[in-house]
Amino acid sequence: MSLRVAVPAGADPDATDVAVVGSGINALVCGALLARAGVGVVVLEQSDVLGGAIRSAELTLPGFTHDVFSAWHPLFVASRAYATLGGDLARHGLRYETAHAVTATAATDGAAVVMTRSRDETVAELERHGLGEGARFVADRESFDTVAPWVMGLLADEVVSKTTLRSVVSGVRHLGRRGVRSLAGSLAESARTWLDSTYRTPAPGALFAPWVLHTGLGPDAAGSGVMGRAIVALLETVGLPVPVGGGARLVDALRDVIEEHGGTCRTGTDVDRVLVRGGRATGVRLVTGDVVGARRAVVCSVTPPALYDRLLADAPVPDWARRAAQRFRFGRAGMQIHYALSGRPRWHLDERLSSIPLVHLTSGLSGVSKAVGEAERGLLPDEATIVCGQPCVVDPSRAPDGAWILWIQLQELPATPRGDAGGAIDVGDGTWTDALRERYADRIHDRLSLQIDGFDALVQSRVALSPADIARANPNLVGGDIYSGACDLDQNLMFRPRPELSGHRTPVRDLYQIGASTHPGPGLGGVSGTLVARQVLRRSHRAS
């Protein structure tokens, strides 16, 4: 039974309870949870479509449904939001499918290593690459399992909260003080340290190191070790689920839940200012001059510079908050390449790769590290880590009968290139022109051609999106940073977006910030939206 929040005396009867700015996964989850609880919600999106980084389109040819940016939903399927909303979403047509196989790496040294959702199969695979590696994998997984509740709790709750405090107390009781100190130390460990100290052969590093990129980090970054271990645990548990018909099916279902409970989602609606009166957020003003009042809260799924430099430009905000927002840094850029193929590709390195949802092409741990280093020095990597998604393995409806899709993501590019590590591409003045985008896409194409038999003949169409294209498509992806902010330790986890601004409350009462720029960072888990919805509901219930 939903609980309708009482409207306080003197409130504007034409205002909504909560105005949500932006419509990414966190904004839609927040809106759905609030609407489901009887709170009036309006979601305001400046683009013509909802979803933020979740977008599906026939980019290449009719009948080929491509997930334009993000594609894989393990974090959402494992989230509290899905546990709460899953039944409603299914009723509105959302259906997930997951393959038994999960991921593989096709290494440039001629070896392939595969992971499935079966621990026994993964153990056998690693053992094939090196005596004892399977046993080391089991020991590593069991070691992480002992601390996983506290690691996952840190990623799923407000860092400064009673829940987290209780979790710390519980951790001391279960792990002992020495165990807690060990866990705290491991939070700063790099993936290189984790992999080099755990395994004896290159295969596990080749398989697991590329996944660190999906957390916005590189394998030598502080904190990348625990994030890598968490990703491996997640992959083994839920695999790589995708919505049947495209990622936009999740967006559609969340919108339907919001509207079913009386909320509204408005596209093509650009917010110009958050209105502040008496120290609290009272609504927003659109670029058209129209005002949307908010009796309970304003929730903004934007970056810190967008919030403090634009939306709060005229508001009385402490100088320390503005300075902190100005210090927020954006990270490496990303690139997307979408292929429509006439048939299923044959990977000559290992026939199993044709049935793997996501294949990484890299020389291994050192190859990932090298490409990250080149990108961070402003160079186009000579051999970038190629993330090659094959969504038709899980959902054949994405392409016409017999046809295939490749979803390529590159996560190691500079926003403004100063040179080419391969020495073959002229980057000009560093602007991502269409010509530069296609030259770099050709480099990736040539590497795929070395892995897939008759690749050129299979390709029916290719569409590439440069960092500049990505930035234009979504204002939160500044410079093409697909993670909405660098994930270095000083602005990650409990310090995200910055140590002074950590958490989701802002210096303005009843104004919250959510999204990938806030704790726990990027990903499709909807965590920040869930946490803020809970906070708004607690405050609303106390006020009613």
Model pLDDT for residues 41-76, shown as the tens digit of each residue = 999 999 999 999 999 999 999 999 999 999 999 999
Query: What's the average model confidence in pLDDT over 364-376?
Result: 97
Dihedral, 153, 157, 159, 163 alpha carbons, nearest 10: -80
Predicted TM-score (pTM) of this structure: 0.93
Strand partners, 297: 18
Report whether the peptide linkage leading into residue 497 is cis, meaning its omega lies within 30 degrees of zero.
Answer: yes
Helix 80-91 and helix 25-36, axial crossing angle in degrees, nearest 10: 70
- Of 94-103, 171-180, 202-211, 277-286, minimum mean pLDDT range: 171-180
Residue 3 is predicted with a pLDDT of 35
Q: Per the structure block, which two tokens stand in for 406?
A: 């490749």
Give strand pairing partners of 21: 44, 300
pLDDT at 194: 96
For residue 291, is it left (φ>0), alpha (ψ between -120 and 50) or beta? beta
Radius of gyration in angstroms for the set of CA atoms belonging to the chain, rounded to a whole number: 23
193 vs 8 pLDDT, higher one? 193
CA diameter of the chain: 73
Whether 219 and 193 have beta carbons less than 8 Å apart is answered as no
Q: What is the pLDDT of residues 168-200, one digit of tens each?
A: 555 555 556 565 555 665 678 999 999 999 999
Q: What is the rounded distance in angstroms from the CA atom of residue 370 to the CA atom of residue 331?
A: 16
CA 466 – CA 389 distance, rounded (Å): 18
Instruction: Report all structural domains of the chain as residue ranges with CATH numbers, in order of start.
Output: 16-54+247-328+486-543 (3.50.50.60), 118-238 (no CATH), 332-473 (no CATH)
**Residue 130, pLDDT above cutoff 60:** yes
DSSP letter, residue 4: P
Q: Which pLDDT score is estimated for 151?
A: 79
Distance CA 505, CA 495 (A): 13
Is residue 110 very low, low, confident or very high in pLDDT (cuts 50, 70, 90)? confident
Residue 30 to residues 199, 286, 298, 517, Cα–Cα distance (Å): 41, 21, 11, 16
CA distance 27 to 44: 9
Q: For 502-528, how does the pLDDT look when each residue is reduced to its tens digit (9 = 90+)?
A: 889 999 999 999 999 999 999 999 999
CA distance 89 to 340: 29
**Distance between CA atoms of 77 and 84, rounded to whole angstroms?**
11
